[in-house]
Structure 1
Amino acid sequence: MVQTERLLGALCKADVAFVVIGGMAAVAQGSSYVTADLDICYQRQPRNYERLSRALQPFHPQLRGAPADLPFILDAATLKAGLNFTLTTDGGDLDLMGEVKGLGDYEAVRAHAEEVEIYGYPVLVLTLAGLIHSKQATGRPKDLRLIEELQALQALWTESQQKER
């Protein structure tokens, strides 16, 4: 199981520019979805590559599903050369996304994010609308099943906002 608190703590303490996406974002927005990993969209800038790679080094990141003898070092050069990485770490499975289907790169994803406190850390999290849009774009069966719940949460949020007026 993913150790979300440890991973988020390391990312926040290193001042990594990222947005929580995927299942953990859905949970932060009130979903009952059960997730076994942490997905983030990271800013693709040299300083952020350095911060991200340094933050994750204590977790010994390796490519998930790759042969055990495949050499892999997650450093700034690797992050710059790649885009999306599915990793296994000492803190659990972590997906690093340079782009999110249906939304785009970090800047576009950030425009669909809001700050939420998770385990005491203020982090940017994809909004319900952003989650719905990205899940629709992927078209995966597990994402399509989640959309209905996300839409219901969005309707409840809209209703509560209207009552406050």
Structure 2
Amino acid sequence: MHEITPEFYCDVFDQLEREQVRYVVVGGIAVILHGYVRPIADLDIVVAAAPEEANRTLHTLMRAGFMPTIPLPLHTLTVMRLFDHARRELDVFVRYLIPFDELWAQSESMRVGDSTVRVMSLEHLLREKRLNGRPRDLQDIEELLAIKGRDSRPSN
């Protein structure tokens, strides 16, 4: 099995950007892109719940080779899991702990390889991790705050 890194999904990011889909990367890949490298299992994104935007997102991902695991309209769900022929997993949230418009407004544009990616802000990432409160989330918070502390110290 491949080690999953953010670069593993560059083709997905490129397709979403090309189709001008409004999405925000959350979860483990967001943790990595904010500086704490750890194992991840999939790509998690949040998209707008409006039916036309959710529909466009799903069709874009299907054109990229992903197939939904449930035969329901995306906008009627909280999250939909999709897989492609390489067994890459992608979770698309239309309802999330932080409302999409707020996530989008404060998201950051980051580079992953040659791709541009919309990633949830560190503030939102820490907030989401606190709300979840699982052991993995608490570890992520500790590591991200340590990195933030190192980055904010003045250099001599």
Give the TM-score of the pair, scaled to structure 1: 0.79
Amino acid at match of 2:80: F
Equivalent residue, structure 2, for 1:116: 110
State whether structure 2 residue 88 is matched by structure 1 residue 82: no
Q: What secondary structure sits across from 2:152 in the alignment?
A: helix
Aligned length: 149
* Aligned pair partner of 2:131 in 137, 141, 149: 137
Equivalent residue, structure 2, for 1:97: 93
Change (3 A) 1:141 1:86: farther
State whether structure 2 residue 16 is matched by structure 1 residue 18: no
Amino acid at match of 2:46: C
Instruction: State the alpha-carbon separation in 2 of the partners of residues 31 and 16 from structure 1.
Output: 27
Displacement of 1:5 after TM fit? Answer: 1.3
Q: What secondary structure sits across from 2:21 in the alignment?
A: coil
Tell me the alpha carbon deviations over residues 74-110 of structure 1, each in whole angstroms, 9 at most, x when there is no partner: 6xxx012112223333351111112332xx2211212
State whether structure 2 residue 46 is matched by structure 1 residue 41: yes
Instruction: State the alpha-carbon separation in 2 of the partners of residues 112 and 151 from structure 1.
Output: 19
Unpaired stretches in structure 2, ≥5 consecutive residues: none
RMSD of aligned Cα (Å) = 2.2
Deviates most, 20-29 or 122-131: 122-131
Amino acid at match of 1:32: V
Tell me if structure 2 keeps the 8 A contact 1:87–1:94.
yes
Equivalent residue, structure 2, for 1:68: none
Displacement of 1:7 after TM fit? Answer: 1.6
Tell me the alpha carbon deviations over residues 26-78 of structure 1, each in whole angstroms, 9 at most, x when there is no partner: 11111112212101111123442232122111324232xxxxxxxx346xxx0
